[in-house]
Structure 1
Amino acid sequence: MFRTFLVLVVLLLNVTNAGAQTKDSVSVETSIWGVQTGLLGFWAHNESKLTRTIALRTELGFDAAFYGSNNKFNYILAPILHVEPRWYRNLDRRSRKGKNTANNSADFLSLRSFFVPDLFLISNDDVRINSTLGMTFNGGMRRVYWDHFSFELGLGAGFAADLEETYGNSVYFFPEIFFRLGYNF
């Protein structure tokens, strides 16, 4: 009886151990929802898995701007939509080194498309913006701490186009630097 019990325990341990070894590589998360804020704005986002290392990030929020005129401090909040495929390039290396990869905590390269519509503005001044469409190539890092708090830092450049062409030169160079703190649900 004891021998049968021992054989069953050994078989059970082998089966559970074999199941643990079937995962051969780390992958991006299936879906992540969150909110972020940065120096100039706040956004809500979703990252959905496309492949093992690529996620599609969609983001809706407000970009902010500040300026002074006539001894007055003015602000603008404009709605913005981002669509961005991200390639998380070092997930496997971080996993091998025992570093955190939860919630897509890795370095990334991305091609960010953005659209700023001329629907409405939140401002303390009577200003108007033109609808803008653009695309930037970015490199950055995303780190997640305590399972929910995220930190992103990145740099990129691309082009943007004024869709209303009120000034003659409607396409221009667009540098991008971002620093964001957020919470993942």
Structure 2
Amino acid sequence: MIKKIIIVFAFFFALSTVKAQDASVEKSIFGAQIGILGIWGHNEARLSNSIALRSEIGVEIGFYSSSSLVKGSGAFAVPSITIEPRWYYNLNKRISKSKRIDGNSGNFISIKTNYHPDLLLTSINSNYNFISDLTIIPTWGIRRNIGKHFNYETAIGIGYIKYFEEENTFLDEADVGVNLHLRIGYRF
């Protein structure tokens, strides 16, 4: 009898261990997020149990101001296209602590690749010219759920930004790019 109890206990222990190791990101998530400087729609598609590919399109707000040569200041809106593989590294730990992982709730490390085309959605002072750019930024972030459909997300990263000329060829200059965001979202 004791052998049977030990075997049953070992079976359930092994089953719970396997279940904890099978923690996985969701197959596909669609949602929208709003932040301080923009609004975005996104999809996350599962590539493996802990890696999801996030594709995102949105509108971001920027600001410009006058210099001693050119007068004027204001805000502008520009489209944003992002591809971002994310590794959710703590899903098993969250499950072992009975925390939620639905909606890909967890900590992640990613490589955010973002493109701003030379297309303004608003007008700016005619003396200014918007130059498109491409950023590649390693990022660390978290996403947590609030209820069934709402979530918040914050991330930080420092990487590389490359500017294009008007003919969409690379300029010789590159700079440091920063990704710092705080967003509230809705998952469909």
Q: Please tell me the TM-score bracket, short chain as reference.
A: 0.7 to 0.9
Task: Give deviations 1:90-113, integer Å, cap 9, x for gaps.
Answer: 000001100111100000000011
- Matched residue, 1:60: 57
Runs of 4+ in 1 over 3 A off after TM superposition: 20-24, 67-73, 123-127
Q: Distance in 1 between matches of 2:112 and 2:161?
A: 11
C-alpha RMSD of the superposition = 2.5
SS at match of 1:118: coil
Say whether 1:43 aligns with 2:44: no
Cα offset, 1:68, TM superposition: 4.3
CA distance 1:119–1:52, change in 2 (3 Å):
same
- Matched residue, 1:137: 138
Task: Give deviations 1:72-128, integer Å, cap 9, x for gaps.
Answer: 661111101000000001000001100111100000000011111113332454443
Q: Distance in 2 between matches of 1:38 and 1:125?
A: 25
Say whether 1:116 aligns with 2:116: yes
Q: Distance in 2 between matches of 1:29 and 1:88?
A: 11
- Matched residue, 1:83: 83
Equivalent position amino acid for 1:106 in 2: G
Equivalent position amino acid for 2:63 in 1: F
TM-score by length of 2: 0.80
Q: Distance in 2 between matches of 1:92 and 1:62?
A: 34
CA distance 1:172–1:71, change in 2 (3 Å):
closer
Does the 8 A contact of 1:111 with 1:137 survive in 2? yes
SS at match of 2:184: strand
User: Which has more radius of gyration?
Assistant: 1
Using the aligned pairs only, state the percent identity: 37
* Deviates most, 73-82 or 39-48: 73-82
TM-score by length of 1: 0.81
Does the 8 A contact of 1:75 with 1:125 survive in 2? no
- Matched residue, 1:156: 157
Total equivalences in the alignment: 167
Q: Distance in 1 between matches of 2:153 and 2:72?
A: 32
